[in-house]
Every structure is written in C-alpha cells, then in structure tokens.
Amino acid sequence: MAAVSPLLLSLVEEFVSGLQDSKAKEAAKGVKDGQFTMLQLVEALGVSLTSSQPHTRARGVQLLSEVLQENYAELTEREVEVLTAFYENRLKDHYVVTPSVLRGLQELTKCTTLPPGSAVSMLRSVFQDVHVQSLMLAERACIYNMLINLMETREAELKGLGADFVFGFVQSMDGERDPRNLLLAFQIAKNIVLQGYNLGKFTEELFEVTSCYYPIDFTPPPNDPHGITKEELILGLRAVLTGTPKFAEFLLPLLIEKLDSDVQSAKLDSLQTLAACMSQYESKDLAEFLEGLWASLRREVFQTSSEKMESAALAALAALTSCLSRSVLSSDSEDTLSTFLDLILRDCKHHLSEPDLKLVWPSAKLLQASCSASNRASYVITAAIMPSLIKQFNSRTQCSHRRTLLEVVQRFIQSVNTSQSSDIDESVFSEYRAALCSMVFSALSESNSSLQITAASVLNSLAQQTGLLLDSDIQLAVDHLTRLLLAEEDERVSSAVVDCAGALAEQHPAAFITKLIPRLKEELFSDTESFELRYHPAVHRRCLAALAAVSIQPSVVQESSPVLLDVLSSAHSDEGPSGPCSPLTKEEVLSAMVPVISTACSRLQPTLAGQTVLRVVSLFLDGDVSFLPDNAFPSHIQLLKQQQGMKASWSQSQLVCLLMACVCSLPRNVEVPQMERLLSQLEELSCSCSHLLSYSSAAKCFAGLINKRPQGESLDSSIQRTMQRVCSELDCPSSPVRTQVFTLMIWVAKALLLRYHPLFSILTDKLFSLLGDPDLGPMAAASFSLLMSDTEDILNRRCHANMRIMYRQRFFSENSAKLVQGFNAAPQEKKPNYLKALSNIITKLPKQVQVSELPALLSLLLEALTCPDQGVQLSTLSCLEPVLLNPPPVLIQQLEALISRLLALVCSPAMKIRITSIRCIHALSQFPVHEVLPFRARVLRALAQPLDDRKRLVRREAVQARGEWFLLGSPVGR
C-alpha cells in the first residue's frame, strides 16, 4: 500500500473526480516508463472502484482501461490473470460501468500472456452477463473484436467450449443492425464455419442469424465516413453462407427462391453465391435440388434480362457442373453428373437443330458452360451434340446459318480449351478432327467474307487443342491461309487470317518455315525487272504483317529476320539517279515496316539481339553493309548524315525510322554499341533536318534510347547537353528549327516522365513556359496529349520501355496547380492554350482519378466550354463525359452553368462537338431526378434542333439523349 506514489494518487484523483481526461495519457505513460505498475494503479483506484456512486466506479474503470490500452503488451501473465478476474467481476456492475469494462476486456484479449483458461472464462462471463444487442454500437463492436482476437490466438480453447461458443455468438449477433458491426460479425461467422468449430445442434441457428440479411440491401448514407460498401457486406455474408456444406440444405432453397423473384440485384447475388458455394459442396449436398437449380439457371439464360445476369448464370452452371464432376463414383450411388447433364441435354439439344436456329445461342451457351466444367462433362456433351452440329453444317446452304453453326462449334472448342488439364493428351475432339477440319476448310474456300473470318478463328481455336491437328492438317491450313493472304482484298478477312497465322505459328512453326515464309519472300522480292508492275502496296503490307505475326518462335524468327533485313537492304539499291525507285522511299511502306521490325526485335533471343543491334548500328553509323548478302552498295553510305545539297536527301535520312524500330524495341538488357556517338548523331539529325519523318523518327529514336539507358552520370550529362541545345534554339525566336527541337524536347520529356527521371521537371517547366509562346503555344498545348498517352511504336511495354505505373497521375498531381496558376496569370488570348493543355491531360487520366480531381478544376473546365477554340471545347467535353457518368456533388451544384454551356454547343459548326455535347447532355439525364427535372422542358426544346442535323451521327446521339430526357421522371426512366 505504502508503495503507491502520491503522483499516481493525484493522477487518479484528477481523472476520476476532476474529470480531466488528459490524465489518462499521463498515467499510461507512467506505466510505460516504469514509474508504477498496473497493479499499483489498481490499488490507487481502490476507493473509486468501491465507491457507491456508479459514475465514479465507471470513471475508475475507464482510467484503468485506457491505461491498459497503451500497455497491454507488457503485462505479465499474473497481471493479466488478476485483471481478467477483476473485469469479469465488473461485468455484473451497473450498466454505466459496462462500456469501460468491455473496452478493458478487449485490450486483454490482445495479450499474448493471456493465461490458459482465461479466454474461456471471459467469454462465459460475457455470454452470461451481457445482453449484447442492448449495448451501444461501440460496445457491441468491442465484443465482436474480442471474439475475433481470441479466435486468432486461442482457437483450441474456444473449440473446447463446444457448441456453446456458437450458441453464445448467435445470441450476441442476433438482431445486429449496424453495417460496421455486421462486417465484424460476418468475419466471426466465417471463421466459425471455415475453421471447423463444432456447430452442434446450432447449425440452423447460425444459418438463420446470418442468412436473414440475405440478400444484402444497403446504400451507404451520403458522405459516409466509414466507407463501408454494399459490396463488402455482400462478400462478407457470402463467405459465411457458402463456407460449409452443412448449410446446403438451408441455403439452396433460399437461393432458388431469390432466383425466382423479380428483384434483379437479388437474382444476381444468388447466382454469384451459388457459384461460390460449389467449391465447398459435394454432389450429395446438391442431389435433391438439381431440378430446381437447373430450371432457374435455364430461365436466366433463355429469358435473360442482361448480359451480366446471363454470364453470372453461366458461371454458376459451370461451377455446379464442376462440383458434380468431382464426386467419386461408387457402384451403389447414383451418377448425379450424368443425371444433371441429361437434364441439360434434354432441354437444350433440340434447339441446336431447329431449322430457324432461333434459340440456338442460349442453348449453346448453357451447353458450353457445362462442357467447360470438367473433362468428363465435356466428353458427355460433345458426344451428344457434335455429330449433329457437323451434320447440319454440311447440309445447310444458307451462309448465315453455316456461320452460326461454326460459331457455336468454336464456342464448344474454346470451352473445352479452358478446362483441359495438361495430363490429358487426347483432345475431346479427336474423334471429330477430320470432320471439323473439313468444315473449316470448306468455309475458308467460300466467297462469303464473314464465313471466312469465322472459319479462321475456328481454325485458331482448333490449333490451341494440344495434339489435335495432324501435320497434314496444318499443311493444308497454311495453304489456305497463304492463298487468302495473297488474294483476299477484304481487310477484315486479311486481318483475321494474319491473327490466325500468328496463333498457328506459335504452336506449329514448322509448316510456316517451310511453306509460308518462302512464299512471302517470293512475293516481296518478285522479279525486280517488272517490279513496278507487280508492286501492290496492299499485298506488300499484308505480307509484312503476316511475317511479323508469325515471328514468335525463335525458329521462325531465324527464317523471317533475314527476309526483313533483305527488305531493308533492298532500299539502298536506289543509289544513283537512274536506279529504279525502291519501295523503301515510300513513306507508307516504311510506316508499315516499323511495327514489323519492332515486333521481331522485341522478341529476339539475347544473342541474336546482340548480333542484330551490332549490325544495324554499324550500318547506320558507319555504312557497314558487309553483312548484307549480294550487296552492291557503295561503301560511303551515311544514313544518319544529311547530304548537303542533295534534293532527295531525306529519302535516306528517313530510314532512321527503321533504326528506331530496331534499337528501341530490344529488351533492356541488350547493350546498344557506340551509344554516345549514336545519340549525338541522332540529336544532330533531329535538330537540323527539315523532313518530318526524318527528324521526328530521329527524336523518337533518341528518346527511346534515353529511356532505357541506365541511371547515372553519363545519362544525366547527355540529357543536360541536349537540353542546353534545345533551350538555346527555343529561346531564339528566329531560329528556323524551333519545331524540330521542340519535337525532340517533347519526346525526351516523354522518355524521362515514363521512368520518373528527376531531370524531367526541367523539361516540364520549359514546356509550361512555351504555352505562352506566340508560335509554339498551340503545339505545346497539344503536346500534353503525347506526354499522357501510350505510344504505338516506341516507349511502350511491348518495346520493353522503362515505364513506371501511374506516371500519368504523378504528372497530373505534380503539375495541375502550375497549370491553374498559369491560366490565371495568362493574358486572355493565351488562355486557350492552357485550357487545351489541361483538357489534354485530364482526358488521359484514369477515370477514377478524373472523378476525384475534377471538382477542383471544374470552374476551369466550365470556362473552357465557352472558349471559342473548338479543339478545347472538344477535349473538355470528352473529359467531362466520363465524369458525368458518376457526378461529384460539386458538379450538381453547377448544373445551371453546365447545362447552359452544353446546350449552347449542340449547334456548334463542328460535328464532333455536337456529338460529344449531346452525349454529355445524355449523361445528365442519369443525374438525380429532382436535380435535373427542372431542366427537362428546356433540354427537350434544345434537343429538337439536332434531331434535324445534317449529320446522321449527330441525329443518332440527339435521338438517344432526347429519348432519355423524355423518360425522366417516369419510373422506367431509372
């Protein structure tokens, strides 16, 4: 007793009687620092704890609990034991004391030193002395947290309580209404079912007390600080309900009931829940409900109300079938899988062969979903339907029917694809291989292009079936593809053929090496004498595209890259004024070759890549043509140097785009030789050449190299050197190459932005200052779009660029304030540049970022809508549009201004502005009805005019928007 320090006594006194809450912190600190112990605190509290006034006692316990909160980790087992006994005893005290008691107990449950038996005794006391649902929200949360803590550390002890634990919990949560607490309760319930607590005779009670919330219907209040979503609750509850097969007999009837209801969200939830429980269930749990489940699933697909619902139903069916497939067949039990598949076939099969094919799709989708579930299911189903599909295809004459059948077949093949495990080497379709191939080849030989396209994609799917196609099939397929590639003019067909060739070549490279590549080479280098006659740019392009597409396997690349290099080298045959004109002087051929080379180089194996880059760089830097076979080039060729005085010098300098395609696409670990020299020549070319393709490709090539160059001194110094040159040219208004150096700067900026290089900020500042430049201002504004978007040819992931995720957000958050300031400070005539820059940035931001950042910029955007520049109007509209789909509150406050400005644009001279502004107005119709209803008449009147617009596309938008505004205020409108 004497050991109790006066300091402690005074702290206690001031907290309990003086009601000074801050004293709790001091006391906690005292304990932490070792000035006094927990037990001394209890002693010091002695008088307060035995006071006749409940409020004094409550205050005493409160101090203890708060101190405990800071110090539970340091308690000894003995202290915990004493405190536990104390708190348990206090549970019987006056109700004003209870909250602090519970808080103390919750802290104790976190103690690692909790002695054996304490957990059980604590819970017994709580279940016995506390009626949970009459407590306040926070205290109820205390109880749930206690349970969660103890389940984590004292699982074995709690299980010792047997079914009493479950019963205690059920009683505690029965009637819980608060979503935060429900999340906790669902977590406990989930632990109970998943960790195998003994449910005893309380299985149904536990199901009842949780399933009564099903389906979850919860809308968070506006400005909800807790951020609990309906989705979290749904998932929490779903984990409980689907956690154990013991619930099957209760859950399945409930799900069937909800599936039969008219509430769409309940249906969807039920389908997802159904799919989720299949991983826990066995066929015996399902047997008696199969008929009912099938009827409901079938209905959702046959009379589907939305794609979402349909795909949920199909996923549930697949899960269900897969669950049935897991059951081990024993001689005495019924084969539930085959019973179930019989049901499906009974209801669906005949639709596949009806003459008008009217219900073919829903039936096919159902069959495919079950087919995809397991190997056994796919055997049963394909055996039942493939013969009839094949027979029909061969007997039908109408192209549309044949195509539909092909599409159905393809879906079956794909559905099996996903399910086949690697240990099964025989494809389900082996039996039908010959028939399927003949279907595909006959369709490829038709003149109907959509049939050809479908057939190409079926062929693709067949090739994905391991071991299905024979070599002879592939040979035949390659013949067909080659024929179509060379002869078919329809772009959709050729792009399908190219895709198919790419996919086939990955699986079966041999036939492509022996047949396709030689044939393409022949086509590309057909008799040079009559080159002009035979040169078809479209065929050329298709050949190159196919070449790129098939170059996936190293063995193919080995064959295809020489062809590509030959194409490249043939460009140099135009030396001399009288030589024939090479296709490589044509810009469109070059542009077509860039992606081809880029694709090939990005996939090169390290050694091959090293060789390639060595040759290419020396070709461009030194004119080393020795590696090219049969070359007849002069040795002085200098591709990166501008030949002064030569009129057509750009015909060579533009070849730098091929250099770019190669060196910028290589994997990052491939070292580029002569880097410094290469960079300096590229810089020179990009800053001095006046030919657009030449200087922009040089700039891009420079940027692509900078992007991948390792961090360090040499990188920094070459950037700084280049920047100096760029800035000095830009600062000189009379410089003839301002556009060129600007192009270089913006590409370098892009390269640095992607990798978060610190020097990037210098470039940004320069770029912002150029927004006020009389000549380059508009170009600077437009360049923000380039900074923010993914580029096709370089600086993307395919080219192994050094790219950090979220570089756009980062750019935006670092620079949006500068932009707003710049806008405010700029003179009136310069403001459009800032608005344009802003809209270019925002358009490219991910939607969530747009939505969260927009409020701050809203007034600027509204301003931008009145800016006379059509480009600004358009980009502002296009970035407003997605935001309007999920409007932030500030937007709703500005509705009047927004609507007036949008309506003013629906008669703009520019078609795209009319279209986008009308789309925005369309989106407004989905705002809260009471907010927009006052504008209904005005909007309908304003939209009458674009109904008679001269452009069909505008009319179409106006019709849709006006239709929605008409429905406004009508129940179906929502």
Q: What is the per-residue burial (b if ≥16 Cβ within 10 Å, else e) of 305-316?
A: eeeebbebbbbb
Residue type, 838: L
By C-alpha distance, which of 141, 119, 122 is closest to 132?
141
User: 350: Cβ–Cβ under 8 A, 6 or more apart, which residues?
Assistant: none
Q: Which tokens hold the place of 549?
A: 């597409």
Q: Is 817 left (phi over 0), alpha (psi -120 to 50) or beta?
A: alpha
CB of 870 to other proteins, least distance (A): 11
Which of 329, 911 has the CB closer to other proteins? 911
Helix (H) or strand (E) holding 796: none
193 in helix, strand or coil? helix
Which of 284, 951 has the CB closer to other proteins? 951
Which of 306, 611 has the CB closer to other proteins? 306
Which of 228, 359 has the CB closer to other proteins? 359
Helix 847-866, helix 870-884: angle, nearest 10: 140
Q: Which tokens hold the place of 706?
A: 């900078």
Q: Which tokens hold the place of 589?
A: 């051929």
CB of 944 to other proteins, least distance (A): 7
Which of 347, 964 has the CB closer to other proteins? 964
Q: What backbone phi and psi angles, to 5 degrees, belong to 904?
A: -65, -20
What 8-state DSSP symbol labels residue 513? I
CB of 966 to other proteins, least distance (A): 5
- Rule CB under 8 A: which residues touch other proteins? 262, 303-306, 356, 358-359, 400, 910-911, 937, 940-941, 944, 947-948, 950-953, 955-956, 959-960, 962-964, 966-967, 970-973
Helix (H) or strand (E) holding 440: helix 433-444
- d(C-alpha 501, C-alpha 485), whole Å: 10
CB of 542 to other proteins, least distance (A): 21
Which of 383, 953 has the CB closer to other proteins? 953
By C-alpha distance, which of 210, 194, 184 is closest to 106?
184
CB of 568 to other proteins, least distance (A): 34
Which of 289, 302 has the CB closer to other proteins? 302
CB of 913 to other proteins, least distance (A): 11
Which of 634, 969 has the CB closer to other proteins? 969
- d(C-alpha 887, C-alpha 924), whole Å: 9
Burial classification of residue 454, based on how many CB atoms lie within 10 Å of its CB (0-12 exposed, 13-18 middle, 19 or more buried): buried
CB of 946 to other proteins, least distance (A): 9
CB of 307 to other proteins, least distance (A): 10
- d(C-alpha 321, C-alpha 274), whole Å: 12
Which of 360, 439 has the CB closer to other proteins? 360
Tokens 């819980």 — which residue?
A: 176
Q: What is the dihedral of CA 126, 128, 134, 140, to 10 degrees?
A: 20
CB of 762 to other proteins, least distance (A): 41
CB of 955 to other proteins, least distance (A): 7
CB of 909 to other proteins, least distance (A): 8
Q: What is the dihedral of CA 308, 313, 317, 323, to 10 degrees?
A: 80
Which of 124, 396 has the CB closer to other proteins? 396
CB of 885 to other proteins, least distance (A): 15
909 in helix, strand or coil? coil
Q: Supply the DSSP string of 522-550, one letter for each residue.
A: HHHT--GGGHHHH--HHHHHHHHHHHHHH
Residue type, 13: E
CB of 928 to other proteins, least distance (A): 17
Tokens 């389940």 — which residue?
A: 151
CB of 303 to other proteins, least distance (A): 6
Most distant pair of Cα atoms in the chain: their distance: 116
Helix (H) or strand (E) holding 860: helix 847-866
User: 771: Cβ–Cβ under 8 A, 6 or more apart, which residues?
Assistant: 777, 780, 781, 822, 826, 830, 833, 834, 837
CB of 398 to other proteins, least distance (A): 12
CB of 294 to other proteins, least distance (A): 20
Q: How many residues appear in the chain?
A: 974
Are residues 795 and 752 in contact, defined by beta-carbon separation less than 8 angstroms?
no
Burial classification of residue 758, based on how many CB atoms lie within 10 Å of its CB (0-12 exposed, 13-18 middle, 19 or more buried): exposed
Which of 180, 936 has the CB closer to other proteins? 936
CB of 265 to other proteins, least distance (A): 13
Which of 88, 310 has the CB closer to other proteins? 310
Q: Supply the DSSP string of 291-338, one letter for each residue.
A: HHHHHHHHHHHHT-S-HHHHHHHHHHHHHHHHHHHHSPP-TTS--HHH
Which of 238, 922 has the CB closer to other proteins? 922
Which of 117, 973 has the CB closer to other proteins? 973
Which of 264, 430 has the CB closer to other proteins? 264
Tokens 């100096």 — which residue?
A: 724
Which of 226, 492 has the CB closer to other proteins? 492
CB of 912 to other proteins, least distance (A): 9
- d(C-alpha 231, C-alpha 254), whole Å: 20
- How many Cα atoms within 13 Å fall on the side-chain side of residue 271? 28
Which of 197, 935 has the CB closer to other proteins? 935
What 8-state DSSP symbol labels residue 657? H
Q: Which tokens hold the place of 445?
A: 């030989």
Which of 723, 913 has the CB closer to other proteins? 913
- How many Cα atoms within 13 Å fall on the side-chain side of residue 696? 7
By C-alpha distance, which of 49, 87, 55 is closest to 68?
87
